[in-house]
Amino acid sequence: MNNFIFQNPTRLIFGKGMIAELNKAIPADKKIMITFGGGSVKKNGVYQQIQKALQGREYIEFWGIEPNPAIETLRKAIALGKEHSIDFLLAVGGGSVLDGTKLISAGLKYDGDAWDLVKKGAYHDTVPMGSVLTLPATGSEMNSGAVISCHETQEKYPFYSNYPVFSILDPETTFTLPPHQVACGLADTFVHVMEQYLTTPGQSRLMDRWAEGILKTLIEIAPKIRENQHDYNLMADFMLSATMGLNGFIAMGVTQDWCTHMIGHELTALHGLTHGATLAIVFNGTLRTLRQQKKEKILQYGERVWGITGENEETRLDKTIEKTASFFQSLGLSTRLSEENIPDTTILEIERRFNERHAAFGEAENVNGAMARKILENCK
């Protein structure tokens, strides 16, 4: 096991009706700006619950943080927040609203252009933020990460800020999500876990078990959710799994990978594909390409998560990789670039971008431009 320092200060407020806790959760003297996405929260009653919880409190609203939040939008929110001397942010929505609000939270304390902070990668002088999460997927509600896009340059980069001081998760808010969003959330969570699990074997027995525990939970609930998205316990397990999949709890003392994500971000930047949907494609390419490098852990994953055993290792590897693709397909997601009409020129462009950045992603730092191209060719 590697040495590590772990701390996650976020207060998780979880369950039916818990949006009512909002007033208590935000200190009384704070000047609040609430950030929203497109407006679905007005249809599903979340907005009304928030209004009720914050009755008598003063706040301003910023609407329109889009999927894959863009610096162009966030600059406007930062300007508005500065104008009103905002000192508390409440993000209401999915991972994109939360991610965008993390940059706003840093931007409010920064004099220059906030895109500098994204390019820098991290900034910790921030205005405190809380969240009401409505779409389980990114884990942003209980981690310090965010991913920010720039429309002008078609770029998309990770950025690290501070943890939300609290996050409210009411599984009932997920009942009316579009099924495709739920599918992408399940795929996103699955691959988050894989990025922390499918690395060097034998680093921590416990972390392996916990990662496998999330994977098994996702595999168990996914078909049931597709049958009935209004089952509270199912959606609660989904919501909790998504949070636990990327809050550091399964990353203690183990190395991580993230090459699938880095390639997926490029697909989103170039084609606007939903994040989870990019992972459901690229991860298959990663497995096929790094099959030998990750052999031992793929075999462990196959056996413990899918029950794939037998004498012949190559057959077990084949079956495990197939099972993984079938899982994404069972969610109704594409598992090939061709299904999303992504052309070969995109593969070349991603290779070029990786080369330009002198990228060497992945646990073994061997996912450079050429390797990214192989991975993408393996899921064409």
Nearer Cβ to a second copy, position 152 or 296?
296
Among 42, 76, 209, 380, indicate the residue that binds a second copy (CB under 8 A): 209
Does position 16 bind a second copy by CB under 8 A? yes
Indicate whether 111 belongs to the interface with a second copy (CB under 8 A): no
**1 binds a second copy per the rule CB under 8 A:** yes
Question: Which of 9, 272 has the CB closer to a second copy?
Answer: 9
Instruction: Return d(Cα 30, Cα 59) in angstroms, integer.
Output: 9
Residue corresponding to tokens 């009512």: 20
Helix (H, G, I), strand (E, B) or coil at 230: coil
Is residue 171 part of the contact set for a second copy (CB under 8 A)?
yes
Interface with a second copy includes 5 (CB under 8 A)?
yes
Q: Is 351 in the site for a second copy (CB under 8 A)?
A: no
* Contact residue for a second copy among 200, 232, 322, 360 (CB under 8 A): 232
C-alpha distances (whole Å) from 279 to each of 8, 182, 186, 231, 335 are: 26, 14, 11, 26, 9
Residue 38 tokens read as 């497109």
Chain centroid offset of residue 76 CA: 24
Spell out the residues 6+ positions from residue 158 whose beta carbon is closer than 8 angstroms to its own.
121, 145, 146, 147, 265
Question: What's the min distance (Å) between Cβ of 39 and a second copy?
Answer: 27
Q: How far apart are CA 158 and CA 360, in angstroms?
A: 15
* Residue 226 lies near a second copy (rule: CB under 8 A): no
- Half-sphere exposure of residue 54, counting CA atoms within 13 Å on the CB side? 24
* 237 contributes a contact to a second copy by CB under 8 A: yes
CA torsion through residues 148, 246, 20, 89, sign = negative
Chain centroid, CA 323 distance in Å: 22
Local structure of residue 361 (DSSP, 8 states): B
Query: What are the DSSP calls for 326-340, one per residue?
Result: HHHHHTT---SGGGG
User: Per rule CB under 8 A, is residue 236 in the interface with a second copy?
Assistant: yes
Query: Closest approach of Cβ 209 to a second copy, in Å?
Result: 3
Span of 62-70, 210-218, 285-293, 337-345 interacting with a second copy by CB under 8 A: 210-218
Q: Which is nearer to a second copy, 252 or 299 (CB)?
A: 252
d(CA 222, CA 216): 10
Single residue of 113, 125, 152, 220 touching a second copy by CB under 8 A: 220
Binding segment for a second copy (CB under 8 A), chosen from 6-14, 39-47, 50-58, 324-332, is 6-14
Residue type, 127: V
Question: Which amino acid does the sequence have at 151?
Answer: H
196's enclosing H/E stretch is: helix 179-197
Sites for a second copy among residues 315-334 (CB under 8 A): none
Q: Which SS3 state, helix, strand or coil, does residue 36 take?
A: strand
Total interface residues for a second copy by CB under 8 A: 44
User: Per CB under 8 A, does 18 bind a second copy?
Assistant: yes
Contact between 244 and a second copy per CB under 8 A: yes
Does 255 participate in binding a second copy (rule CB under 8 A)?
Answer: no
Gap between the Cα atoms of 255 and 65, Å rounded: 33
Q: Does 4 bind a second copy (CB under 8 A)?
A: yes
The helix-helix angle for 179-197 and 205-227 (nearest 10°) equals 170
* Two tokens, residue 258: 């993230």
Contact region for a second copy (CB under 8 A) — 3-11, 106-114, 125-133, 151-159?
3-11
**Please, which residue, 43 or 205, has the CB nearer to a second copy?**
205
- Is 172 a binder of a second copy (CB under 8 A)? no
By beta-carbon proximity to a second copy, the closer residue of 233 and 255 is: 233
Nearer to a second copy, 2 or 338 (CB): 2
When asked if residue 202 is in the footprint of a second copy (CB under 8 A), the reply is: yes
Q: Which is nearer to a second copy, 15 or 128 (CB)?
A: 15
What is the binding site for a second copy (CB under 8 A)? 1-18, 21, 171, 202, 204-207, 209-210, 212-214, 216-217, 220-221, 232-233, 236-237, 240-241, 244, 249, 252-253
